[in-house]
Amino acid sequence: MPSERDYVTKIWPSSNNTERRLHLAALQKRSLDESKNGDIDENGIVRKNNHMEQQRCISCDASLSGRPRIELDGNVFCYACAKQRVDSEDCVVEKKYAAKLKDYEFYSSKHEKWKEQLKSALPSFDSQATIVAVVAIGMGLLWGGLLFFLGIFAGLVVNTIIVKQKRDKWVQKNPEPNVPPQPLKHLARSRIKQIGGIKGKSLTGSYRTKILKRDNYTCQICREIFPADELEVHHIRPQAKGGKHFSTNLVTLCYRCHIDENWFGHKHKMR
């Protein structure tokens, strides 16, 4: 007996494409709801009441078994389709708010420089540690070794007061710059979520080769085919933020696209 998805995708006549897509979207949303309730495994298989259904990309209908899954506005996409969808939506919004975005980026950059200058104006970590040590050792020598530990606490208090005074004095001379509100609060890239990719079985051996073969040596952003030595395996959730070598967290990118990639806080080491 054909499954509900098979019926929608294979049995319905082609004249009902619109109705089929709406029904597929409903199925996708149901699968997503089940995944949030913990009824979907790391390979994208929904398991509920002995029913199994593979999640598929809402755009290209490709199977997402063992592949990254990106959610946007309740729909689940493969990584490549998610990139295409987000770029097309954000391009329109960015053009509309180009002037405001330019001002926001200018003042944001100015504010970042202000924070760096403030940090350099305050005592370094070594200087603060010296203050604490001097106070602790002084109390220990004057009133006995037992007060050394109390001196550490006193040193921390003294250090806090000194740092605060220097900070207030510096800020008084260098007021904090105002940053206008973010004009693009509704960018599609701010609404994306990665489904899975944090649990599962790590790839063994040469995981790079396995991911390149899975993606047919094709960059999942520009969609161009490259030789293996011109491709890189990208961790969607960065390793610095706990990303693992799971197939659902890995995707093939060319060197150029990998450098520009910034989803989920990613920053290429060459950028």
Residue 250 scores a pLDDT above 80: yes
* Rounded CA separation 148/142 (Å): 10
Q: What would the mean pLDDT of 77-84 be, rounded to a whole number?
A: 92
Percent of the chain whose predicted confidence (pLDDT) is above 70 = 76
Domain boundaries, the chain: 1-79, 98-173, 197-271
Tens of pLDDT, residues 11-40: 444 445 566 555 555 555 555 554 444 444
Identify residue 271 by its one-letter amino acid code. R
- pLDDT of the residue at 170: 93
The angle at the Cα of 25, spanning 24 to 31, to the nearest 5 degrees, equals 90
* Rounded CA separation 143/82 (Å): 67
- pLDDT of the residue at 18: 60
Q: What would the mean pLDDT of 233-246 be, rounded to a whole number?
A: 86
- pLDDT of the residue at 46: 43
- 176's CB contacts (< 8 A; 6+ apart) are 111, 114
Lowest-confidence segment of 139-153, 154-168, 218-232, 255-269 by average pLDDT: 139-153
Higher pLDDT, 52 or 113: 113
- pLDDT of the residue at 17: 58
- pLDDT of the residue at 19: 60
- pLDDT of the residue at 51: 37
Residue 197 scores a pLDDT above 90: no
Residue 75 scores a pLDDT above 50: yes
Six-digit token string for 110:
């100015």
Q: How confident is the model at residue 83 (pLDDT cuts 50, 70, 90)?
A: very high
User: What's the fold here for domain 197-271?
Assistant: His-Me finger endonuclease fold (3.40.1800)
Q: How confident is the model at residue 80 (pLDDT cuts 50, 70, 90)?
A: very high
- pLDDT of the residue at 200: 63
Six-digit token string for 82:
């998610």
Q: What does the DSSP assignment read for 134-162?
A: HHHHHHHHHH-GGGHHHHHHHHHHHHHHH
Residue of 128, 132, 148 lying closest to 140 (CA atoms): 148
What does pLDDT average to over the chain?
A: 78
Burial of 195 (0-12, 13-18, 19+ CB in 10 A): buried
Tens of pLDDT, residues 141-193: 777 666 777 778 888 888 899 899 999 999 999 999 888 887 766 788 888 99
- pLDDT of the residue at 138: 79
Q: How confident is the model at residue 91 (pLDDT cuts 50, 70, 90)?
A: confident
Six-digit token string for 18:
């619109």
